[in-house]
Amino acid sequence: DEMLDRTELKRYFQAVIGADRVRNPKPAPDIYHYAFDLLYRRPDECVIIEDAPYGVAAARASGARVIVVDGYAAVHSGLFATEGLL
């Protein structure tokens, strides 16, 4: 949630969820599976941006496409175009 606030991308997201919603925290993919269910999406329809090792491991285990960044400064709306997502 903090990354979305700092990068001013929050308006593009339908939901923001935290680890308090799942039993197993990252590196387990549970939080991402919860999000897929909440949004009625399959993992192959989703893109996850992660900057931390446990987050990257969880994202990859979820089955979604993963964009690994170095931190907040690397996250911006142009990232999606760079990755061929727009």
Distance CA 75, CA 22 (A): 25
Q: What is the pLDDT of residue 1?
A: 65
pTM for the whole structure: 0.81
SS3 (DSSP) at 72:
helix
Q: Kindly state the tokens that stand for 28.
A: 């387990």
Q: List pLDDT tens digits, range 10-41.
A: 887 888 888 999 999 999 999 999 999 999 99
Residue 62 has pLDDT above 70, yes or no: yes
